[in-house]
Amino acid sequence: MYIRWVKRAHKNNLVADVVFHDAYLVESYRNEDGKPRQRTITYLGNIRQIGNEFPIIERELFLLRAENVLRCMLDLSPADCEQILDQLHQKVPPLSREEMMEGFQNTLRWYYYWWQKHGEPPTRSEIQHLIDRAKEGYDLW
């Protein structure tokens, strides 16, 4: 199995320097005549490239979605899943700790801005509860 990447340019490339990358999980096989063919197993998602970069948040969302799709494939072994994730990471690198912290800080800024207009921020115990729930959901994988 391997990843097939399909690139699509933005509809108005005079305005936006954006390319979309669609990822498909594909397998090779031979048809009845013995000729090699490829079969799409599943769609793993897409990611925007702006200029020469994949934005931090889009990298993380793309990789999370792809990992979730792979983990839901019951006939895919954990080793195959890891091999496919490694292939994805060659094109879309996982976030570094510094990038994750930057994204987390930007998310907190957005929430802070929202709270200023719509109400009070969560309490420390509510935040701890959210963190605990996130850990539980991650452990299910």
Q: Residue 119 — very low, low, confident or very high, per pLDDT cuts 50/70/90? A: confident
Share of the chain above pLDDT 70, in %: 93
Q: What is the pLDDT of residue 45?
A: 95
Return d(Cα 99, Cα 91) in angstroms, integer.
17
What would the mean pLDDT of 119-124 be, rounded to a whole number?
A: 85
Phi-psi region of 114 (alpha: psi -120 to 50; beta: other; left: phi over 0): alpha
Q: What is the pLDDT of residue 138?
A: 57
User: What's the token pair of residue 46?
Assistant: 């897409």
Q: What is the pLDDT of residue 122?
A: 84
| Lowest model confidence (mean pLDDT) among 21-30, 80-89, 120-129 | 120-129
Return d(Cα 74, Cα 141) in angstroms, integer.
12
Question: Under a CB-based contact definition with an 8 Å cutoff, are residues 86 and 93 in contact?
Answer: no
Q: Residue 13 — very low, low, confident or very high, per pLDDT cuts 50/70/90? A: low
Q: What is the pLDDT of residue 141?
A: 46
Return d(Cα 46, Cα 61) in angstroms, integer.
10
Return d(Cα 63, Cα 94) in angstroms, integer.
7
CA atoms lying within 13 Å on the CB side of residue 13: 8
pLDDT beyond 50 at 140:
no
